[in-house]
Each structure stands twice: as structure tokens, then as C-alpha cells.
Structure 1
Amino acid sequence: MNNMLSITESREKFDYISVNFVDMSMHNGPAVNEIEFNRWLLSSFSKSLLLSPVAVSELHGLKQVALGRCTLRRPIRFILTQIEVAKAIARLARRDGAIYYRHSRLSVLPILLKWLRPDLRLLATRLNGTRSADAAIEKGIKARLSGLVELADWALRKHIARTAEWVDTTTPQMAANLASVAGRKVEYVPNGVNCAQFKPIPAKLRSEFRAEHGIPQDAIIVGYAGGFPTQRGALQALEIVQHREDAYAIVIGKLTTDEELRLKHPRVLCFGKVPYNHVSQLIGQFDVGLSFDVPERVALIGNSQQKLRQYLACGVVTITASTDLPLREDPILGCDLFVGELSIIEAYDRVVRLLEPRHRRHRYEFARSNLSPSRIFGRRHEKIESREATDR
């Protein structure tokens, strides 16, 4: 906690303090979303500060404090860190300051802050509104412990949802679920997409990629990018390749040896797990992107919808399995086809009609206008401040 001591000795007061226990150095989906939000906050307001487990190189030059990694695996450190963070925030936040809070399992930080500084505005962002299923996949004592942890954390999240000045989450269905539990309005704020990273690949680079990997220039590339490939899109890509001679497939994501053998085909390229900053370059090679996460998960989990938005920003035509009504009504998901009762081959035959260069550019422009983090977070901030002014 040495780095905390230096910041607590500061006399500077902050209007906005962002605090979370997400390890943003991991560069997975949740970490990248937190980086995008905190880059916007720290760059937009000079009197703002980030408190998180590790300093992030992408935020170099902006005001941030590394708390050190703390998880439930080290419960004493986890509790002590929260106490120190609460004390630091109580000292550093100006009167009526705002705390952007990203909940971590069993974190009692909001309760501590309410006790130390009741004047502060707690803005709970990306709050999970569903119960975890961890206990169901454990056995014996671990299952009982997981069940107790989840019960306690669910009680905490309900308390935060009912008492925070602002609450938002990342999908319409999650917002509806949380609102019914909390008895109040919960805002839907989607994850943004970094359109400087996720964007259409120039035709010259696409041509060079195809030449390098032995893919004909007129072939159609079907792709999947993400976790659990064989459960969420890779097998559908294989089926398309097996039935359509003009199709090639790219699969991005960690595979077991058995899964690699299952996907073995001369027109299927498996890249395995790649660094996050390379993912956009490969998605940009897709003509058709697949996302077959289970409908219930897509409706609820923001990171599942994030994949669809990344496809959209890269100008890729998308096919997904969900027929959930709230998703159909969400104008910024950008899906070209919800499969429903269609077979994957029927769906593929329909969407290939949309493969025109102008459509690729239109998708990107739509994403840039509606899904850039600065626009999404800026609109949220304006709504928060407007509500605060009305309440006064």
C-alpha cells in the first residue's frame, strides 16, 4: 500500500474518483471496457482520479493509483485494502464529489463510504443484475462456500442498486432485471467500441492476408472470435465451409487438442488465442462473423454483446442465434440476421447478399457515431449531471 500513502498525503481534492478492483493489465473484455471508460474520465476532467489494482500503461500520464492485486483468495488483504481505499476517498473527494464505482464480489466499499462521507454521490456502473451460477459447477465444501459467497454478494448488489445515486448496467435485459429487484430505474449503458482499433481493414491488406494464407481473392471468409469457440460459432463456421465451396473459415480463440482435430479442414484456419490488440486485425478479415452464445447469456451479459459490436465496427456482416425480443429492438447491436428457425446454411445464403464494400463502410460509420466510448460515456455523464441538477 506504499503507493496509497503518497496519494493520501496529497492536498489535492478531486471532483470525480473512479474505483474498481478489475485487473486492467489482463486486457480481456472487462479490462478493456474499464480502460476505455477511465481514459475518457481522466482525459475529460482534470480533477479526476483512478484507484485500481495495477497502474495501466494505456493510461500513462493520467492520475491513477495502483492499490495492489486483492481478491477473495486473500480475504484479509481484500478487506484491509477496501478500508484503506475508503479512507483515501473520504480524504481526497471534494464535498458532494462523485464516485464512479465498479462493483467487485463481496466489496463493502460503498457501505464504508456512506458511513465516512454521506455527502458523496455513488454512481454504480456496470452493476451485474444476475445471480452467479458458480455454486452449481462446484462440489462439496466448495459448492457450499460458493453458495454462501454468492448469497452475500447478491445482498450487497441489491443494497447498492437501491441506495446508489445512479445505477447502470450493460444490457437492456439486465437493466430490467435489476430494476425489478431494486424497485427503481436502472439505466442501460452499452459497452463502447474503440473504433480507432476496430475498423474495416483496407482492401490492399485484406488481399495480402488472403495471398499469405492461400485464400482465393473471391472467397468468402466466415469467422468467429472469442472464448469457447466450439460452443459459440466455430462449429457453425465448419458446417458452412463443408457445404459451400466458396467459403473459408477463421477461428480465433483458445482450443483444446481435441477441438483442433474436430475443426480440421483444409479451408479452416485456427489461430488459437491471440493478443487482444491483434484481434481487430483478424476480425477485419472476416466477411461474415458468427456469434452463437446461448440466447439467455447474450441477452444478459454485456461482453457477449460486445463481440457483435466489434464485428459491426469492423464492417462485418453478422449472424447470431438469439431471438430475444429486447435484442431485436436494440438498434446498436447491428446484427444483420437472427437465425431463429433457419439453418446455418440458410442464414449464410441470406447474408452473403449483403457483402458489398459500401455496406462495410456504413457499418463502421454507424459504430463510430453511436458506439465510441467518448460518446457513450459523455451521454451518460450528461444524464447524471442533468438528474443531479433536477434533484437540487
Structure 2
Amino acid sequence: MNFELSDELKALQSKTRAFIRDVVMPLENDPRKDSHGPHESLRNELVGLARDAGLLTPHASIAMGGLGLSHIAKAVVFEEAGYSWLGPTAMNIHAPDEGNIHLMEAVGSPAQQERWLKPQVQGHIRSCFAMTEPAPGAGADPSMLQTTATRDGKGYRINGEKWFITGADRASYVIIMAKMEDGSATMFLADMDQTGIVLERNMDAMDSCFTGGHGVLRFDNLYVPEEDILGEVGKGFRYAQVRLAPARLTHCMRWLGQARRAHDAALNYASQRMAFNKPLAEHEGVGFMLADNDMDMHTARLHIWHTAWMLDQGHRCNFESSRAKVVCSEAEWRVVDRSVQILGGQGVTAEKEVMRIFCDMRAFRIYDGPSEVHRWSMARKLVHAAQAAKEQV
């Protein structure tokens, strides 16, 4: 693996950094927002600005209107975009749309791509991904899926309830994971304005960076024609892995940008704030925290780049993406937590941006699988690999 970035990628990194600094960050105090995230009107303005800058939906293929970024290029660009909590929204690389765009490009039919993917890449519509359910339904264990799809003529009737569905409010379409009569799972596509889809409520979440918040959805006898099946019947869990492994990693990329933003605020403050006749940064307790921040960010970046490099080589990276997700979510969280501590009173108020980052990032250790589930999954694979190695001796 070569850690040297190409001149082209360095130029794109600089362009993204300047766009975030000069265009996006000045809008962070824009009043057009609610408790869930940027208001739709603010999102539309941000998307327009990214479109004008040539930075909209850069991860999509060139054929679809994106920049066709490799996973390594995404690691560089997404970190820069994540420096502002509005950056991923502006560049149309926020969850769940980023993962859904990747999935639709990989699995969607030409008709489905024309109907949903193309306007999404252009930034005209949003989407959501409906998999997580209230107990006893699917959560960290997708095999507990309760939402059902029953054959009805040339289509299917879907019934069930989903929650923690990011971006559901005002999304244009939804990807629904449902259980078939034989116990397998299938993904279905549906426009959100149908009578069989009910947004029961928006959940009061700790974070406030996702347009559309996190909703509770109910499917009441929703009819989906067979041409709106995403991919093939019964392959829903397989397609979920197509989406989840890269999507876990892009979370790590974006939040690394936010961790760097928090660290920069803490470093700047510690360099200027005097206490006991010298700057805070010269006190060992604070200086050590700054050093630990640097080590955690570098460790996270190495995990991201290595896993991205493996994805670019064609590896599935289920194990590596789990490892990166745990390491990055915990390391980046530590960076933000230390930054709050260094800032003292300013770290727990809106006087500094770090309080906002702290509230937004805490859920990262839960999104796309809690750290504990990934550790459990990794341990099983490590044991199986060790047993297989013994059997070959």
C-alpha cells in the first residue's frame, strides 16, 4: 500500500477543504434547522452550492454524474467534508443516502436507477433504509426480521414496523427489508408518499445532523409490484452486506473530520489560554491529552485507509470493516471527549462547536452495529480461522 496521494487527489482534497471552510462553515449558524437536523430548504441550498463547486455526490460513478471516487479517494474527501456537520449534507454523502446510492448502483435495475438513483445523485431527492425494528424484531441481529412480504398477484404486500429510520421524514423513497414466506429476506423499493406507508413519529434523538431525523415507520398492507424488488428475491441479507461494509467505513471517514475539528478547537484554545502563568498546552495534563488525540486520529486514519485500500483491491472486508468501525468510533469519540475536557466550561456550552460534535458523535458507537456486536462477530471469525488452520496442519 502506497500512502502517497496522487497530485489529482491532493488537488481534490484541497478543493474540498476550501469549499467546506469558505462556503459551508459560514452557514453552520443558519436558523433553518430543527431538533433533527438541517431543514429541507437549507439542505437544498447546500446541495446547490456543492453542485456549483463540482463536488456533489462525488462517490457516484462518472456515468451517473459523480466523480467515481475509489474507496481511498473517498477516505480523503469524506474526511474533509466531515470537518463541518453540514459538509456531508452539502455534498450528498451523508447517511443513509451515501450507502443507498452505492447499493442502488450495485444492484438496481436500469429502470430503478433511472427512476430513483439518477435524481438522487443529482441531489433532487433523499432516501431512507428501513431495516431496524422494535423488539422482538431485527436490530443488531438481522435474522430477527419481523416485517413480512406476502405474495399478491404480480407483487407483494408488506406489513410491519420499523424504527430509527434515518432521514424518513420527507424522504422520496425507501428501501425496505422484509421477510419472505420461506424465511429469506428481500429488499423492496417504494415511494414514500403511498397510503400504505405511515410515518408515525420522529424520535427525539441526541444527534441533530441528519435531515429528516430518525423516524418510526409502519407498513400497512403496502403493495409493491415485482418490478420494484431490488435485486433478486431472497438475497436481501447478501445485499445488506454490499451496502454495510463500505457504509461502516464512510461513517468512520466523516466522523474523523469532526474529531479533527474538535481537536483543532481544543489545540487552539490550549495554545492561547493562560493558567498558572503559562499556556494550558504547556501543562503536562493538557499536553498529554493533545498528544493522545493525535495518536487516536492517526490510528483511525490508518484503519480507514487500509480497509479502503482492501476494498479497492476487491476484497469483501466484512472483518476489516468491523474492526475499523470499532477502532474509529471509539478513538474518534475519545478525541472529542478529551477536547471537551480541555475546553472546560466552553466545551459544554454552545460557545464552542465541540459540544455539538460531542452530542452528534456519541451515537456513532451504536450506528451500523454496536461495538460489542462487532467484537463478538470478529471473535467468532478469529476462532473459526484458527480452527481451520489447525485442521490443515
* Bin of the TM-score, shorter chain as denominator length: under 0.3
- Structure with more relative contact order (C-alpha pairs < 8 Å, separation 6 or more): 2
With normalisation by structure 2, the TM-score equals 0.23
With normalisation by structure 1, the TM-score equals 0.24
